[in-house]
Structure 1
Amino acid sequence: MSINSAFHSQRKWNIGFILFLTLLLLLLSQISIRLTLITALGISLGFVLQKSRFCLVSALRDPILIGMTQLTRAFLLLLGISILGFALVSWGASQSNIPLSLNIFPMGVHTVVGGLLFGIGMVLAGGCSTGIIIRIGEGFAMQMLAFFGLAVGSVLGERSLKSWRYTFGEWPGIFLPDIFGWVPTLILELIVLLTLWQLARWWQKKQLGE
């Protein structure tokens, strides 16, 4: 098949898929506007994730294996935007005297063990939770097995959490604004992220000359 034939074939599939999604959203709009908006948001998010190839594993693995830090810097940017957004929401709530309910989870040995197991699993599976779901949508059968392992591991972890807490105990969670205040915490976190971003940029330039 020539390049032009493949291009036109893909274009037909794209047009058909867009028409299908349009009809689906029109049908859902007759049932519930809220459901339509949620579906449209989910489709848009999936499209962006698939095209950007955003994956936590790649963000942590690529700098070590190939010296590429583009996804690493994108992840740091995402954290920075999230921190600023959360700070604005918290500030707005405090100005309006709206109480915020925060879930500050405790830490323990189970946190470290779970993080190590999840990290090893991500590398073996070739993707984080988001990356696995994206590749399932692309038709990779092996990622279905990885998703099954992710689901089983999550259930086992949740079921055994009480035993871990009882055996090893845990420490109360740390909420930095309670210690330093909101403004110093925000400044500190942004400085740390900016420093890591510059280090990631320097590392790629050193490894790849870019």
Structure 2
Amino acid sequence: VMAIGVAMIGTGALAWAGLIDPTKTIYTSAKLAWLSAAVGGLMFGFGMVLASGCGSKTLVRIGAGNLKSLVVFVFLGLSAYMTLRGLFGVVRVNTVDTVAVALPVTQDLPSLVAQG
């Protein structure tokens, strides 16, 4: 909860100072890539079963000296980067990201509340 609060306050402060524009991120676009989210969620869940837990649990196990968790941590980071910007990113953009719904407003809370 504290990390969420710090992230929200930090993002709000950076946006207020004009250092970032949160409306230009992939998270607040007006395009809802629902198939990409569904496929990604299924793959993430399957990976968490194979890894015996989430990323936080992996960090705790690394601290306890579990070598499997060290391998999981390294591959979790690599695959996340590759899915967003690397080799898998090209495949993702050309396949599942093509199926999307165009929304009338961006996907941030103020825009959605103002629309409704």
Compute the TM-score of the two structures, normalised by the length of structure 1.
0.37
- Relative contact order, CA 8 A, sep 6+: which one is greater? 2
Aligned to 2:79: 153
Deviation at 1:132, TM superposition (A): 1.1
How many aligned residue pairs are there? 100
Aligned to 2:92: 164
Aligned to 2:9: 85
1-structure distance, mates of 2:70, 2:64: 11
Structure 2 unmatched runs, 5+ = none
1-structure distance, mates of 2:112, 2:89: 28
Residues 6-48 of structure 1 show CA distances to partners (whole Å, capped at 9, x for unaligned) of xxxxxxxxxxxxxxxxxxxxxxxxxxxxxxxxxxxxxxxxxxx
2-structure distance, mates of 1:80, 1:154: 20
Matched, 1:175 2:108: yes
> What letter matches 2:92 in structure 1?
W
Identity, % of aligned positions: 23
Compute the TM-score of the two structures, normalised by the length of structure 2.
0.59
> What letter matches 2:37 in structure 1?
T
2-structure distance, mates of 1:140, 1:129: 14
Aligned to 2:21: 101
- Structure 1 or 2: more helix by fraction: 1
Structure (1 or 2) with the larger CA radius of gyration: 1
Please point out which of 47, 66, 82 is paired with 1:121.
47
Deviation at 1:156, TM superposition (A): 4.3
Please point out which of 128, 133, 148 is paired with 2:59.
133
2-structure distance, mates of 1:165, 1:147: 25
